[in-house]
């Protein structure tokens, strides 16, 4: 048997597992079945601090997935953290792939049931998340081959959703993708999305207002629009260089940043052509992290940065001078963010991610202010949020959908 | 495919120029070692890879610039996902609904596919109420219901375990024959290729080495590469010299021994006629040793593997081996090599024995030592 472990000091618990036993026969504490459509045996091992997902699959596939997941993570793409791979477990025994459970992720059955804390315009947010994920993968030259709801996990993202790729069995990493590869990947995604949504609908588990066929078909247009926005070539007169800023701002609004731009003059010399060469996601998340050290999804980061900006304006008014960004960030972190998070009783902490909680507090404050017709103070809004929303919200650090609709492995 | 070419921006020529015609309704398997260009060819056919030069024609229409969806092809078995809350009929039909095909057509197609896959009686059931085999057939139904012009399959069985692979292999072959849809199938597994294809195209470094029926590839390989790639265990190939037999016929000097070719065998290898005294590569399949025949090859036994239905004897012969390489033909180091004979399991043989293995001269092969090309009828 051969165990390859990433970050062994962090995941030493894995070594004590019965790695030479068939996964189906494991009886260690914290073992849970994982609902969904699986080609292989998949189990969750819940630990006190960290939970893991273990999948049993042939050695070569396990090794391949281990490599691909690491490459995706290294490229900064949203995926699960791969912990280890076990191979050569003996004759007729498949290998194991161990990944870390993505905390605060929501399986699609949970997200789309609409039965938890609500996400407005759920169908739209789902499309944005999936199209965004597919575009990011394609920009990095990754062909998925099986984009589906069951191969994706979602995290709350300030009223939107962030999608994470969790199954790359059919994936291929290329230097870049041809239009044909992207087209086929999108076609598979569309069909799989329709199938997944129709299945939820047939099982009475789909939130109202989502039309499976219309939603699935819309992903093609959503993808094409985003792809064009990120990679399309702009042409303008040589005296319109403000268009470069305009284009960059549009990219930032979408959460992307161009780390390289190419500006070339056309044949007649009067016009310029702008090509964004390297487009990276996480513009706001990177900025928030660099200013405060906080990790957040892209929309959460945008929301927090906006709040930070407003706090900076208040400070400027109070002090009569503009403070440097770093100072504003430190003050905001101390006076607003941490103060709000500390107001949460210990038994309720960990239910949602701090950045998401903070976003929801801001939403709650807006909602309360609208209701009473004047601005409600932040402390009052925080107290009301904790009392009226967070107390009854289900914990989401590790969420398991009810064990329905599981198909045994085809033999 | 007419002079189909693939060159990458870094100059690497994955496919230097491929001419290959697939007949209507045919099951063609592309096989070759890793990196031989078979998946690249398939991806060019699918529209996933840009074609550098040459023409790709489907039904005599040039499709080079068409996207995958416009080519009316299907990459099948990408996923075996079945939706547990949907009936068998819904599982098969939903992709057509998505493409706005009218209800009558969908019903007719689902009924047709269900009939073909023997699923008619379970159309209203959900996947959880089906047997494993039925579920597998529903998954196939999802793939075939579109009835495209061409099915493309890229190593579709690679993520299945050995038992399921054999089972699914048979299912795919049976289904393809019943559907009659032209199919192109890529694999690195020569057993898969030989058991499934009407014809098998063997590729090496993007070059077509031979395209023929499985039997023809096995019995009359065009070159040393195909001879050694097809067959398991692979063909034994050692150095030899063409000589003139005492009766004026052709003989081969192999491992210091003389193998006289019968009249019929000499006719099969008539190309050896003008090569007296020349070195050649002599190929003998494992099952052509140790059976009937009045010519013999002396060997010493190193290892015996009892497989139940046959006995594999690994033995040393006093001649260096010959193998096909990227640059041509390579002679193994030393004066000896190991050959494998496939014997009847009733033989009593053990390691250390000296054996005189009979040689079926009608199944001997000869290859040019420079080019590796087969030497056959003159």
ipTM: 0.81
> At B323, which CATH number?
2.40.50.140
Q: Quick check: A403 pLDDT over 50?
A: no
Same domain, B112 and B247: no
- Together in a domain, B168 and B75: yes
With CB atoms and an 8 Å threshold, state whether B159 touches A179: no
Q: Give one word for B259, left, alpha or beta, with left for phi > 0 and alpha for psi -120 to 50.
A: beta
Sequence ranges of chain A with CATH classification 1.10.510.10? 105-231
Instruction: Please indicate, yes or no, if residue B373 is contained in any of the structural domains.
Output: no
Residue B78 has pLDDT above 70, yes or no: no
Q: Which CATH number fits domain A2-100: 3.10.100, 3.30.460, 3.40.50, 3.30.200?
A: 3.30.200
CATH, residue B51: 3.40.50.300
- Percent over 90 (pLDDT), chain A: 63
Instruction: Looking at the structure, tell me whether residues B219 and B336 fall in a common domain.
Output: no
Q: Does B376 reside within a domain?
A: no
Domain span at residue B233 reads 226-368
The answer as to whether B377 is a domain residue is no
CATH 3.30.200 in chain A: give the residue spans.
2-100
- CB contact (8 A) between residue A187 and residue B46: no
The pLDDT value recorded for residue A406 is 42
Looking at the structure, do residues B8 and B47 belong to the same domain, yes or no?
yes
For chain B, the three-class secondary structure string (H helix, E strand, C coil) is CEEEEEECCCCCEEEEEECCCCCCCCEEEEECCCCCCHHHHHHHHHCCCCCCEEECEECCEECCCCCHHHHCEEECCCCCCCCCCCCHHHHHHHHHHHCCCCHHHHHHHHHHHHHHCCCHHHCCCCHHHCCHHHHHHHHHHHHHCCCCCEEEEECCCCCCCHHHHHHHHHHHHHHHHHHCCEEEEEECCHHHHHHHCCEEEEEECCEEEEEECHHHHHHCCCEHHHHHHCCCCCCEEEEEEEEECCCCCEEEEECCEEEECCHHHHHHCHHHHHHCCCEEEEEECHHHECCCCCEEEEEEEEEEEECCCCEEEEEEECCCEEEEECCEEEECCCCCEEEEEEECCCCCCCCCCEEEEEECHHHEEEEECCCCEECCCC
Which residues of A fall below an 8 Å CB-CB distance to B?
Answer: 37, 39, 57-58, 60-61, 94, 145-146, 148, 150, 169-170, 178-181, 183-184, 187-188, 190-192, 194-196, 198-200, 202-203, 205, 213, 216-217, 405-408, 410-411
Look up the CATH architecture of domain A105-231.
Orthogonal Bundle (1.10)
Using the beta-carbon criterion (under 8 Å), do B80 and A190 form an inter-chain contact? no
In this structure, the answer to whether residues B79 and B217 fall within a common structural domain is: yes
* Cβ contacts of A39 on chain B, cutoff 8 Å: 80, 159
With CB atoms and an 8 Å threshold, state whether B136 touches A94: no
Q: How far is A174 from chain B (nearest CA, A)?
A: 11
Note whether B82 contacts A181, CB cutoff 8 Å: no
In chain B, residues with a C-beta closer than 8 Å to the C-beta of A37 are: 81-84
Q: Are residues B354 and B300 in the same domain?
A: yes
Residues of A in contact with B97 (CB under 8 A): 194, 213
The model's pLDDT over A89-102, given as tens digits with 9 standing for 90+, comes to 987 788 999 999 99
Choose the weakest-confidence range: B63-77, B254-268, B279-293, B310-324: B63-77
Interval A385-402: pLDDT, tens: 999 999 999 888 888 655
B114 part of a folded domain: yes
Whether residue B94 and residue A406 make contact (CB cut-off 8 A), yes or no, is no
Q: Look at chain B and report how many structural domains it folds into.
A: 2
Task: Among B224, B241, B268, give the residue marking a domain's end.
Answer: B224
The answer to whether residue B123 scores a pLDDT higher than 90 is yes
Residue numbers in A near B158 (CB within 8 A): 60
Contact A191 B164 (CB under 8 A): no
| Sign of the CA dihedral with A103 first, then A66, A112, and A162 last | positive
Closest chain A C-alpha to B205 CA, distance in angstroms: 20
- Which residue in A has a C-alpha nearest to residue B93's C-alpha? A195
Q: What is the pLDDT of residue A409?
A: 43
Answer yes or no: do A198 and B164 touch at CB < 8 A: no
B192/B289 same-domain check: no
Instruction: Output the pLDDT for position B157.
Output: 79
Whether the link from the prior residue into B233 is cis, omega within 30° of 0, is yes
A167 touches A72 (CB < 8 A): no
Residue B375 belongs to some domain of the structure: no
Cβ-based contacts of B48 with chain A (< 8 Å): 178, 180-181, 184
Same-domain status, B181 and B305: no
Whether residue B100 sits in one domain with residue B235: no
* Chain segment A238-272, per-residue pLDDT in tens: 788 788 888 888 888 888 888 777 888 877 777 88
The answer on pLDDT for B164 being more than 80 is no
Give A105-164 pLDDT, tens digit per residue: 988 888 888 776 778 888 899 999 999 999 999 999 999 988 999 899 999 999 999 999
Size of interface A-B (CB pairs under 8 A): 102
The mean pLDDT value for A206-225 works out to 94
* B161, part of any domain: yes
Name which of B48, B90, B94 is nearest A180 (Cβ-Cβ). B48
| CB contact (8 A) between residue A405 and residue B80 | no
Domain for residue B378, yes or no? no
Cβ contact, residue pair A202, B90, below 8 Å: yes
| Residues of B at the A interface, defined by Cβ within 8 angstroms | 43, 46-50, 67-69, 75, 78-86, 90-91, 94-95, 97-98, 127-128, 132, 135-136, 139, 158-159, 161, 164
| Same domain membership, residue B112 and residue B139 | yes
Q: Kindly state whether residues B181 and B310 are assigned to the same domain.
A: no
Q: How far is CA A359 from the centre of its chain?
A: 16
Option in B49, B80, B158 nearest A178 (CB): B49
CA nearest to A217 within chain B: B98
Q: Based on the fold, state whether residues B201 and B296 are members of the same structural domain.
A: no
């Amino acid at each position: 048997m051969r165990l390859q472990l990433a970050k062994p000091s962090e995941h030493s618990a894995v070594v004590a597992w019965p790695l030479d036993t068939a996964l189906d026969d494991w009886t260690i504490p914290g073992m849970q079945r994982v609902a969904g459509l699986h080609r292989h045996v998949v189990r969750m091992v819940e630990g006190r601090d960290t939970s893991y997902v273990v999948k049993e699959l042939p050695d070569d596939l396990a090794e391949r997935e281990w490599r691909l997941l690491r490459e995706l993570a290294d490229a900064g793409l949203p995926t699960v953290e791969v912990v280890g791979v076990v191979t050569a477990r003996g004759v007729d025994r498949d290998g194991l792939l161990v990944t870390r459970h993505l905390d605060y992720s929501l399986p699609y059955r949970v997200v789309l049931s609409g039965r938890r804390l609500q996400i407005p315009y759920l169908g739209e947010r789902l499309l944005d998340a999936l199209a965004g994920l597919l575009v990011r993968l394609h920009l990095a030259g990754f062909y998925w081959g099986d984009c589906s709801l069951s191969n994706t996990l979602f995290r709350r993202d300030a009223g939107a959703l962030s999608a994470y790729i969790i199954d790359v069995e059919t994936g291929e990493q290329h230097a870049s993708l041809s239009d044909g590869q992207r087209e086929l990947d999108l076609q598979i995604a569309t069909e799989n999305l329709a199938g997944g949504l129709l299945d939820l609908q047939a099982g009475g588990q789909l939130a109202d207002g989502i039309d499976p066929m219309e939603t699935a078909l819309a992903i093609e247009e959503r993808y094409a629009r985003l792809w064009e926005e990120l990679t399309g070539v702009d042409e303008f007169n040589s005296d319109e260089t403000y268009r470069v800023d305009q284009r960059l701002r549009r990219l930032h609004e979408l959460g992307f940043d161009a780390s390289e731009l190419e500006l070339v003059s056309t044949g007649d010399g009067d016009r310029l052509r702008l090509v964004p060469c390297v487009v990276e996601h996480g513009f706001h998340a990177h900025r928030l992290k660099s200013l405060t050290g906080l990790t957040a999804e892209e929309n959460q980061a945008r929301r927090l940065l906006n709040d930070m900006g407003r706090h900076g304006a208040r400070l400027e008014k109070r002090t009569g001078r503009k403070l440097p960004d770093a100072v504003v960030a430190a003050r905001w972190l101390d006076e607003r963010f941490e103060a709000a998070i500390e107001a949460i009783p210990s038994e309720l902490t960990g239910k949602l991610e701090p950045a998401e909680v903070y976003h929801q507090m801001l939403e709650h404050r807006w909602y309360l202010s609208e209701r009473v017709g004047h601005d409600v103070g932040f402390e009052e809004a925080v107290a009301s949020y904790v009392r009226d929303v967070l107390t009854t919200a289900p914990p989401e650090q590790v969420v398991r959908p009810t064990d329905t609709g599981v198909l045994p492995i085809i033999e | 495919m007419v002079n189909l070419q693939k060159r990458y921006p870094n100059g690497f020529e994955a496919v230097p120029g491929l001419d290959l015609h697939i007949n209507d309704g045919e099951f063609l398997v592309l096989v070759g070692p890793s990196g031989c260009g078979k998946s690249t060819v398939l991806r060019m056919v699918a529209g996933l890879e840009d074609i550098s030069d040459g023409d790709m024609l489907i039904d005599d229409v040039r499709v080079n610039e068409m996207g995958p969806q416009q080519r009316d092809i299907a990459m099948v078995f990408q996923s075996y996902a079945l939706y547990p809350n949907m009936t068998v009929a819904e599982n098969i039909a939903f992709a057509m609904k998505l493409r706005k095909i009218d209800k009558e057509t969908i019903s007719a197609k689902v009924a047709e596919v269900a009939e073909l896959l023997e699923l008619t009686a379970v159309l209203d059931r959900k996947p959880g109420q089906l047997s494993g085999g039925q579920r597998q057939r529903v998954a196939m139904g999802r793939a075939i219901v579109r009835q495209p012009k061409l099915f493309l399959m890229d190593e579709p069985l690679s993520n299945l375990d050995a038992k399921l692979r054999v089972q699914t292999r048979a299912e795919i072959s049976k289904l393809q024959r019943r559907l009659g849809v032209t199919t192109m199938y890529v694999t690195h597994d020569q057993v898969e290729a030989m058991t499934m294809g009407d014809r098998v195209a063997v590729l090496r470094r993007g070059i077509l080495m031979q395209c023929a029926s499985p039997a023809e590839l096995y019995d009359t390989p065009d070159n040393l590469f195909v001879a050694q790639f097809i067959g398991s265990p692979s063909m034994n190939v050692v150095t030899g010299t063409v000589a003139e037999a005492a009766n004026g016929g052709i003989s081969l000097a192999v491992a210091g021994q003389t193998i006289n070719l019968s009249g019929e065998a000499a006719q099969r290898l008539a190309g050896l006629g003008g090569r007296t005294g020349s070195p050649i590569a002599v190929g003998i399949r494992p099952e052509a040793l140790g059976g009937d025949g009045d010519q013999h090859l002396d060997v010493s036994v190193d290892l015996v593997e009892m497989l139940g239905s046959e006995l594999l004897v690994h033995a040393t012969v006093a001649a260096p081996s010959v193998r096909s390489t990227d640059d041509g033909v390579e002679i193994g180091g030393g004066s000896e090599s190991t050959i494998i004979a496939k014997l009847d399991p009733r033989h009593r043989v053990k390691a250390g024995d000296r054996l005189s293995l009979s040689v079926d001269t009608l199944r001997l092969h000869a290859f040019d030592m420079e080019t590796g090309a087969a030497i056959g009828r003159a």
